[in-house]
């Protein structure tokens, strides 16, 4: 190698090390309880009058959820919780459930199985895209879109549909440290209109990329999305990831520590579907959204920020929740790539 290039290279790596040290020094001080309390209240106050967007309506019952509900919570890895607004209202978790079941599959079959049998690439397309299934060789593409999430459910190791569902539900309960329940009305509303997701399940099966009976996977997936959760419980689910896989309230290990970075990487790359780039660009945190209006973001090793409000933008992401989380991340300077301005 040309010595000049070598010298430049070692300078470059010295600078890179320095940059990493500077970033970690900047992030080293954990925000105080007062800071966390302040930013939660601020985020709620700042966005409570924002009425942009509208409730999801392709699942008929979601249109009836009161649109003005708005809750914001931070849950720390030590199990401290800071909240503002309607944090006790139970809404359907919808796609925020997806990384947690992907975690269960990682736990049972290892991360390589998730990468090979589902995929980990962003699609740049909406969450219910059928074009993505035709376009990409992985077919299901990643665990955050419907195709990948239905595939993940089909990979849960189970001998019966009941066992598959019980495992999916128990895993979410363990992440939340709470006995989450199915919202049956949401399930009936969603399953009776699930033509698009049925098409996705059948397409995947056709390509050999679904690993159980398609209708069974569809039913269990739809139940998974219809689980009720409040913003406090959602924040604890995220805090379990912030706490390297141990639920900070119950102390139970839910996911092996070594799988947490892979799961957070999937959330960072794909958690907002065709808006994942814009989300990383402005908030800099792994996060997952759902059409019920919930979003959970994780500050690895520190805390989770959850927010809920039903009005969505075109990509199916809650406008108030996105703004609230982005505000908090910006104020605390906890974006993974450096402090993002609010
Ligand atoms: N259950 C919803 C669906 O399959 C989840 C979509 C979402 O939250 N983005 O359409």
**Which residues, 6 or more positions from 28, have their beta carbon under 8 angstroms from its beta carbon?**
none
The list of the chain residues with pLDDT below 70 reads 1-28, 342
**Residue carrying the six token digits 């399940």:** 201
What's the Rg (C-alpha) of the chain?
20
| 45 three-class SS | helix
pLDDT at position 228:
98
- Shortest-distance atom of ligand 1 to CA 127: 9
Query: What pTM does this model have?
Result: 0.92
Atom 2, ligand 1: residue with shortest CA distance: 94
Ligand 1 mean position to 9 CA, how many Å?
47
**Contact between 45 and 19 (Cβ < 8 Å):** no
* Burial label, 145 (beta-carbon count in 10 A; 0-12, 13-18, 19+): buried
Angle between helices 260-270 and 231-242 (to 10 degrees): 120
Rounded Cα distance, 34 and 82, in Å? 10
pLDDT at position 341:
73
pLDDT at position 151:
98
End-to-end CA distance of the chain: 45
Ligand 1 mean position to 316 CA, how many Å?
9
Ligand 1 mean position to 144 CA, how many Å?
10
**Which of 254, 267, 246 has the alpha carbon at shortest distance from 325?**
267
pLDDT tens across 299-324, in order?
A: 999 999 999 999 999 999 999 999 99
**Contact between 87 and 335 (Cβ < 8 Å):** no
Ligand 1 mean position to 7 CA, how many Å?
52
- Give exposure, 62-88, as e/b (b: 16+ Cβ within 10 Å): beebebebbbbbbbbbeeebbbbbbbe
Rounded Cα distance, 88 and 94, in Å? 17
pLDDT tens across 154-210, in order?
A: 999 999 999 999 999 999 999 999 999 999 999 999 999 999 999 999 999 999 999
Rounded Cα distance, 44 and 83, in Å? 9
pLDDT at position 339:
86
pLDDT at position 29:
73
Q: Is 197 in the pocket of ligand 1 (CB under 6 A)?
A: yes
The residue extents of the domains of the chain are: 3-332
Superfamily name and number for 3-332: DD-peptidase/beta-lactamase superfamily (3.40.710.10)
């Amino acid at each position: 190698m040309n010595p000049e290039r070598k010298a430049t290279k070692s300078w470059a790596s010295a600078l890179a090390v320095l940059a990493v040290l500077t970033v970690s020094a900047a992030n080293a001080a954990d925000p105080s309880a007062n800071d966390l309390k302040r930013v939660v209240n601020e985020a709620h106050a700042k966005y409570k009058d924002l009425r942009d967007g509208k409730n999801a309506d392709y699942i008929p019952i979601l249109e009836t959820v009161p649109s003005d509900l708005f809750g914001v919570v931070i849950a720390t890895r030590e199990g401290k919780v800071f909240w503002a607004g309607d944090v006790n209202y139970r809404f359907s978790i919808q796609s925020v459930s997806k990384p947690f079941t992907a975690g269960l599959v990682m736990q049972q079959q290892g991360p390589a199985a998730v990468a090979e049998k589902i995929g980990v690439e962003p699609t740049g397309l909406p969450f219910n895209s059928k074009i993505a299934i035709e376009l990409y060789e992985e077919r299901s593409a990643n665990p955050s879109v419907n195709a990948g999430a239905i595939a993940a459910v089909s990979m849960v190791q189970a001998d019966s549909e009941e066992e598959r569902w019980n495992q999916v539900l128990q895993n979410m309960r363990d992440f939340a440290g709470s006995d989450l329940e199915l919202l049956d009305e949401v399930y009936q509303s969603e399953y009776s209109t699930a033509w698009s997701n049925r098409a996705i399940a059948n397409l995947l099966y056709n390509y050999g990329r679904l690993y159980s009976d398609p209708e069974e996977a569809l039913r269990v997936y739809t139940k998974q999305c219809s689980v009720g959760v409040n913003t406090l419980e959602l924040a604890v689910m995220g805090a379990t990831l912030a706490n390297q896989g141990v639920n900070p309230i119950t102390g139970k290990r839910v996911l092996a520590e070594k799988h947490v970075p892979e799961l957070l990487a999937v959330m960072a790359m794909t958690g907002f579907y065709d808006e994942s780039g814009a989300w990383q660009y402005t908030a800099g945190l792994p996060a997952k959204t759902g059409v019920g209006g919930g979003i959970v973001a994780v500050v690895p090793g520190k805390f989770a920020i959850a927010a809920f409000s039903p009005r969505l933008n075109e990509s199916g992401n809650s406008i108030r929740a996105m703004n609230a989380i982005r505000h908090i991340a910006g104020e605390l300077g906890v974006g993974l790539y450096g402090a993002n301005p609010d």
